[in-house]
Amino acid sequence: MADFRLRIGAEIQLGPDSILKLPLLLGDKAERVLLVVDPALSESRAVARARALFEERGLKAIAWEEGGARATSARAEECLALARGSRPKAVIGIGGVRTLSLARVAAALANGGRSIDQLMDGAPPDKEGVPFIAVPTSYRDPFLLSELAVLADARDGSARLVSAPCARGSAAVLDPNVMEGLSPKLAASCVLDALMHAVEGYVSARSDFFSDLVLERAAVSLVAALDAIIARPDDPAVRQDAVQGGLLSALGLASSSAGLGTAVAFAVNARFGVPKSSLAAVLLPWTLENAARGRLEKVASLASAFGGAEPDAPAAERADATVEGLRMRLGKLKIPSRLKDFDLQLDRLVETAANARALDFVNYLPRLVSTDDVFDFIKAAY
């Protein structure tokens, strides 16, 4: 058996109203915190509750709300400047993947002298940062329990994966009530994004006995959540499976690795601003088909989650049932099914393919791929 090592440097709080535990996570020494908030959430109930919690306890909360879906490394530099000027004892990120990545980087570099560009170019932080608390507002941050973050490079529009280790005391707060503002279609897209992460980690060359157990369970929870959203789109109770599945997906990826669909989604999102969750809904079936070529048995083992095949059927038949079960659910959701539905031009996606191939986790696919292979994958989904 290969050597196994797992390090998770964050305390995890999961459950309804767990956001109320933020002051406990900060302790009695964090008299000043920096809130990095997606501007679309600035008036949300979750942010209002967080601010009220701090004010009631005499804590000073400095808010930065200038990121958003198209936040680039230039915006991250502005957030970092505020972090260094205000000298917070902790950084709290409230939002989606892009906002949490930006907040994590600000926390990691807050006490040092490195710039965002230097970090993206490979220079590690020169001093220990401050604790970072992630409050995700969707179900699908693949880096929630790792030291990784993704930024859109303002210099060339590419997606860049960086290592941003934060100080002891970091945490993740997963509160289903914080995610109540997601529309049924957006919630379904976010679940599909988390499911893509789980599938990619499950078939990755970095997978091990631990990630296999966790990610297979993540896939089961996420498919159940997707079915519940399709059947009862307005039922708030369906969020619980999605939150648990998203956490399991992130936990599995702390030991394994994301894959090609995630790389392409990050690259397209960074360059063209298409929401990553929407891209995942398009790319996931192609990700499953691509994975079946190198990890047939693993894709076949997911058929029980998606339904549609007998347990003793041949592996190829069960793998086909997995893909067809997914496509059937996508048809019910009536969401975009092709990249061209986002008004993307195929000839402009060549650079995107090169950017996706350059992301480190693409090196851990079931089989090695070239930039041409990545572009072929994009063309299939186009």
Give per-residue pLDDT as tens, 315-366: 999 999 999 999 999 999 988 889 999 999 999 999 999 999 999 999 999 8
- CATH code at position 342: 1.20.1090.10
- CATH code at position 155: 3.40.50.1970
Domain boundary among 109, 144, 178: 178
Domain boundary among 130, 155, 178: 178
Structural domain count, the chain: 2
Whole-number pLDDT of residue 67: 64
Whole-number pLDDT of residue 354: 96
Does residue 1 belong to any structural domain of this protein?
no
Instruction: Judge if 248 and 266 occupy the same domain.
Output: yes
CA angle 135, 60, 85 (to 5 degrees): 90
Domain boundary among 129, 149, 178: 178
Instruction: Judge if 171 and 235 occupy the same domain.
Output: no
Instruction: Judge if 364 and 290 occupy the same domain.
Output: yes
Locate tokens 């350059």: which residue? 358
Whole-number pLDDT of residue 180: 77
Instruction: Judge if 234 and 111 occupy the same domain.
Output: no
Does residue 3 belong to any structural domain of this protein?
no
Whole-number pLDDT of residue 197: 96
Q: Give the predicted TM-score (pTM) of the model.
A: 0.93
Question: Which residue numbers in the chain have pLDDT < 70?
Answer: 1-6, 9, 28-30, 42, 67-70
Per the structure, the complete domain to which residue 262 belongs is given by 182-381
- Phi and psi at residue 373, in whole multiples of 5°? -65, -40
Instruction: Look at residue 308 and give its three-state secondary structure.
Output: coil
Instruction: Judge if 189 and 258 occupy the same domain.
Output: yes
Locate tokens 């006490």: which residue? 111
Q: Which tokens in the block code for residue 246?
A: 């998203």
Does residue 2 belong to any structural domain of this protein?
no
Whole-number pLDDT of residue 345: 94
Q: How many residues does the chain have?
A: 382
Instruction: Judge if 89 and 163 occupy the same domain.
Output: yes
